[in-house]
Amino acid sequence: MAHQNVYIVSNSSYVPKGVMTNQDFEKMVDTSDQWIHSRTGIRERRIAAEDESTSDMGTNAALKALKAAKKRADDIDLILVATLSPDFIFPSTACIIQEKIGASKSAAMDIQAACSGFLYGLSVAKAYIQSGTYNNILLISSEKLSAIIDYEDRNTCVLFGDGAAAQVISNEGPGLLVGEVLLGADGSQSELLCMQGGGSRNPASIETVKQRLHYLKMTDGQAVFKTAIKKMAEAGSRIMQKANLTSDDIAFFVPHQANLRIIEVLAKKFNVPMERVVTTLQKYGNTSASTIGIALDELLQRKVLKEDDKLLLLAFGSGFTWGSAFLTFKKEDQHD
């Protein structure tokens, strides 16, 4: 029996209006625009309003994705939300968005794979559709990282921003045909990038607040940097081998947007010139699970994709988690 084809039939994004530039950080911590840009490639990032939550941003992206796909909320069978900054520990942000968009017939759940959340969510959506369990899935990646950033920690506060993306994923095209999706994880270095406070191990207390445990912490940036390059390079090589593709087959490279130097190393490794690499971190910083969806949206808005163009997606995040995927642009539904 042939596998059911799986398509991203619409892709939308939402970024909040508030902008925080590198110059703004010069007034807050011991840093400079030149230092931040030379080490990360970031110029500015979007910051959500105080009363704008992860579910609010996700809802905005979701409604745009539904409209672009010409789907009603009632057409959605399952809502997946990839986030490490949910509205609450529970209930799931997916349930909150389900109510906000009126998708009363859908199931809903969150996925927590940090910056790899989009690819983990894509793999779950693909499996559900290929199994015949569901036909239309709404995948949302939304992050309000400004809520968990320590703006006294100059090493991490400059890296992150807020934003959301959403895709309607369906068993009928046209759109981006989802090819191979590979995932990986290694929990042995989980302490290098984490938020220690607020869970069952360190429940909220006066002490955890005093120790600033409710903020994102990166204890060894160099180790994270090196592991990110290594694991994304391995994931890219593995998926190319599995899909029987070469560097010449990559029309565009859409990587996780954490650091321009990481992206440049990976582009060189896969022989993709930088003009065919989608970069958005200069405008938005690292929006964790949302980065690939936002970058995909920008690529699609440019209307440069041709029939059968292949996109290589790579991500790496806390956990550590990582993943890779291939998408193929199709103007017509491909029936098996």
For helices 33-40 and 260-269, what crossing angle results, to 10°?
20
Query: Rg (Cα) of the chain, in Å, rounded?
Result: 19
The pairing of beta strand 250-255 with beta strand 310-317:
parallel
| pLDDT of res. 335 | 62
The answer, as to whether pTM is greater than 0.85, is yes
In 166-259, where does DSSP find H-type helix?
206-210, 221-242
| pLDDT of res. 2 | 59
Peptide linkage before 160 cis (omega within 30 of 0): no
CATH of the domain spanning 7-178:
3.40.47.10
Count other C-beta atoms under 10 Å from residue 87's C-beta.
Answer: 22
| pLDDT of res. 334 | 67
- The class level of CATH for 180-330 reads alpha beta
The two domains 7-178 and 180-330 share their CATH topology (first three levels equal) = yes
Residue type present at position 142 = S
Give the integer Cα–Cα distance in Å for 29 and 216: 17
Instruction: Give me the catalytic one of 115, 136, 171, 194.
Output: 115
Tokens of 278: 């989608």
| pLDDT of res. 332 | 77
Told to judge if 22 belongs to the known catalytic residues of this protein, a careful annotator would answer no
| pLDDT of res. 1 | 46
| Inter-CA distances, 32 with 158, 162, 279, Å | 10, 21, 22
| Inter-CA distances, 120 with 27, 80, 133, 218, Å | 38, 10, 18, 22
Give tens-digit pLDDT for 131-160. 999 999 999 999 999 999 999 999 999 999
Ranges of beta strands (E only) in the chain are 7-14, 18-21, 44-47, 78-82, 107-111, 136-144, 162-170, 175-185, 193-194, 217-218, 250-255, 310-317, 321-330
- Domain-wise residue ranges, the chain: 7-178, 180-330
Give tens-digit pLDDT for 216-268. 999 999 999 999 999 999 999 999 999 999 999 999 999 999 999 999 999 99
Instruction: Give me the catalytic one of 5, 60, 171, 286.
Output: 286
The stretches in the chain having pLDDT less than 50 are 1
Told to judge if 256 belongs to the known catalytic residues of this protein, a careful annotator would answer yes
Instruction: Give me the catalytic one of 11, 60, 256, 259.
Output: 256
Told to judge if 259 belongs to the known catalytic residues of this protein, a careful annotator would answer no
Count other C-beta atoms under 10 Å from residue 191's C-beta.
Answer: 12
